[in-house]
């Protein structure tokens, strides 16, 4: 069976729009495992309407969920990360340990306000890559400018070291 990695999951209970309980989180993991997913990166939101979840809390919840999964014979490995509402200081906050990357890698799951324009996308990609990170743009289909420039967005972000989810 293929080894699938879910790189964008709101599976941690009690944080933002994630699982409502430990039971629901375990059910989500069982379903993921049945679908061939072997690794999950928990990505609670940072910024926007959901606030600013502390990375220490995320790491603790990931550890607890991993232990509960093990006790329920669920072999999916859980990693921590965050879905980052882009701000100009986001790269600095990552460097300072205030925001998590995906599984402690150089990849950052970035989201934007819906009205974001093409300049904001490209500017953010440049700021992240200049800081040594590779942004992955979450929910590209939601942004007003993405419809107008979808081909250009994909080509330009990829050529600048970014990806679109």
> What is the C-alpha separation between 62 and 58, in angstroms, rounded?
6
Per DSSP, the three-state class of 82 is coil
Rounded to the nearest 10 degrees, what angle do helices 118-130 and 144-159 cross at?
30
Tokens found for residue 29: 């993991």
> What is the C-alpha separation between 114 and 118, in angstroms, rounded?
12
Tokens found for residue 20: 């409502």
Q: What is the pTM of this model?
A: 0.86
Q: Which residue has the tokens 């709101």?
A: 10
Closest of 68, 78, 122, 120 to residue 102, by C-alpha? 78
> What is the C-alpha separation between 107 and 87, in angstroms, rounded?
16
The pLDDT tens digits of the residues spanning 108-122 come to 998 877 666 667 777
Mean pLDDT for 137-144 is 69
- Asked if pLDDT for residue 65 goes beyond 60, the answer is yes
Q: Determine how many CB atoms are found less than 10 A away from the CB of residue 70.
A: 11
Mean pLDDT for 14-40 is 94
Q: Which residue has the tokens 């939601």?
A: 142
pLDDT for the residue numbered 27? 97
């Amino acid at each position: 069976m293929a080894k699938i990695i879910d790189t964008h999951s709101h599976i941690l209970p009690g944080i933002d729009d994630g699982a409502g309980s430990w039971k629901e989180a375990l059910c989500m993991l069982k379903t993921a495992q049945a679908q061939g997913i072997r690794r999950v990166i928990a990505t609670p939101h940072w910024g926007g309407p959901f606030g600013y979840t502390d990375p220490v809390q995320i790491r603790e919840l990931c550890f607890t969920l991993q232990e509960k999964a093990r006790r329920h014979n669920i072999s999916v490995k859980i990693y921590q990360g965050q879905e980052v509402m882009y701000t100009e200081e986001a790269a600095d906050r990552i460097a300072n340990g205030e925001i998590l990357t995906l599984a402690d890698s150089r990849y950052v799951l970035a989201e934007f306000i819906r009205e974001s324009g093409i300049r904001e996308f490209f500017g953010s990609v440049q700021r992240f890559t200049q800081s040594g990170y590779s942004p992955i743009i979450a929910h590209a289909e939601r942004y007003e400018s993405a419809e107008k420039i979808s081909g250009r967005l994909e080509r330009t972000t990829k050529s600048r070291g970014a990806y679109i989810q």
